[in-house]
């Protein structure tokens, strides 16, 4: 897990905003102390450096936001693929023998229930429950594949277990993709540290430039800090498996579970 996953989103915003404002103030006070020491030459150089640092920070924010958005889309895509695979497997189970059909459809209904419970547990940060449900889901995968193997070996007239077997494989692939997107496809802590360091240093230069001139607008500088803090908070939320401001609509899985229970898919 990323170290930022442990912090509430509001705390991430406050730490980022307060840190940047504090560094603006430090830069300003140091700039005031340097007034009169080659002031004109310093101002030209500092303005150029301030523009370059803020531009580089904006570029890094855009790059990181794009990566976080891609991770969010990968999680959404894997979720949609899993819902589709479960639906296909449930329909494909109709082509199995009676015993295998009943067992497979019961397992698929149980699997959809596990997925709904897992989403609820993740939303309340019950990590122990999440791990247990993931392991139970993988056990159901094994049981479904065992049914597919048995059906392929003992296929009789009127049975076509191939569709069911392919759908089970699609379920496994979607499950692996969701885990990959949630656990491994994350913004590196090194990038996060670099981003925060760049933000703080850029604010120091901004404050220093204001200190050299002896005038500043608190509204302008604080707005700048809050803007960067807001963007960094959005990136943090997008990159998290358990998001606060953004979410993957779980209603499709709930509706699929309900249709399985009511038999509407048959």
- Which tens digit of pLDDT belongs to each residue from 135-148? 999 999 999 999 98
Q: What is the pLDDT of residues 110-134, one digit of tens each?
A: 999 998 888 888 777 788 888 898 9
**pLDDT value, residue 159:** 62
- Domain-located, residue 108: yes
Q: Using CA atoms, how far apart are residues 235 and 237, in angstroms rounded to an integer?
A: 5
Q: What is the pLDDT of residues 21-73, one digit of tens each?
A: 999 999 999 888 877 666 666 777 888 888 899 999 999 999 999 999 998 88
- Domain-located, residue 264: no
**From residue 57, how far is each of 3, 4, 119, 166 by CA, in Å?**
21, 20, 35, 47
- Domain-located, residue 1: no
Q: What is the pLDDT of residues 90-117, one digit of tens each?
A: 988 888 887 888 899 999 999 999 988 8
Q: What is the 3-state secondary structure (H, E, C) of the chain?
A: CCHHHHCCHHHHHHHHHHHHHHHHHHHHHHHHHCCCCCHHHHHHHHHHHHHHHHHHHHHHHHHHHHHHHHHHHHHHHHHHHHHHHHHHHHHHHHHCCHHHHHHHHHHHHHHHHHHHHHHHHHHCCCHHHHHHHHHHHHHHHHHHHHHHHHHHHCCCCCCCCHHHHHHHHHHHHHHHHHHHHHHHCCCCHHHHHHHHHHHHHHHHHHHHHHHHHCCCCHHHHHHHHHHHHHHHHHHHHHHCCCCCCCCCCCHHHHHHHHHHHHCCCC
- Domain-located, residue 265: no
Given a cut of 50, whether residue 264 has pLDDT beyond it is no
Percent of the chain beyond pLDDT 90?
39
- Domain-located, residue 233: yes
* The model scores a pTM over 0.85: no
Retrieve residue 130's tokens.
């999440």
Given a cut of 60, whether residue 265 has pLDDT beyond it is no
**pLDDT value, residue 31:** 86
Least confident of 29-33, 99-103, 225-229, 262-266: 262-266
Domain count of the fold of the chain: 1
- Range among 107-111, 210-214, 237-241, 254-258 with highest mean pLDDT value: 107-111
Calculate mean pLDDT across residues 76-88: 90
- Domain-located, residue 2: no
Domain that holds residue 64: 7-259
**pLDDT value, residue 249:** 74
Q: What is the dihedral of CA 137, 142, 146, 149, to 10 degrees?
A: 110
How many CA atoms are closer than 13 Å to the CA of 180, on its beta-carbon side? Answer: 11
């Amino acid at each position: 897990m990323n170290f930022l996953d442990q912090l509430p989103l509001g705390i991430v915003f406050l730490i980022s905003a307060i840190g940047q404002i504090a560094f603006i103030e430090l830069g300003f006070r140091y700039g005031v102390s340097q007034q009169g020491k080659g002031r004109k030459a310093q101002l030209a150089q500092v303005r150029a450096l301030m523009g370059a640092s803020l531009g580089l920070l904006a570029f890094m924010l855009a790059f990181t936001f794009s990566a976080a958005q891609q991770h969010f889309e990968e999680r959404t895509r894997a979720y949609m693929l899993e819902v589709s695979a479960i639906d296909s497997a449930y329909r494909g189970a109709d082509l199995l023998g009676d015993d295998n059909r009943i067992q497979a459809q019961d397992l698929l209904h149980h699997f959809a229930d596990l997925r709904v419970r897992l989403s609820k547990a993740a939303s309340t940060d019950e990590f122990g429950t999440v791990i247990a449900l993931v392991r139970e889901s993988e056990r159901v995968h094994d049981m479904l594949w065992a049914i597919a193997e048995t059906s392929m070996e003992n296929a009789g007239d009127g049975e076509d277990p191939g569709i069911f077997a392919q759908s089970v494989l699609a379920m496994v692939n979607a499950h692996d993709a969701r885990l990959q997107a949630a656990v491994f496809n994350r913004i590196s802590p090194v990038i996060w540290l670099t981003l925060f360091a760049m933000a703080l240093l850029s604010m120091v230069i901004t404050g220093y430039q204001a200190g050299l001139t002896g005038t500043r607008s608190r509204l302008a500088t604080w707005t700048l800090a809050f803007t960067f803090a807001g963007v960094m908070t959005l990136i943090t939320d997008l990159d998290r498996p358990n998001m606060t401001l953004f979410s993957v609509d779980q209603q499709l899985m709930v509706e699929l579970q309900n249709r399985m229970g009511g038999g509407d898919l048959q």
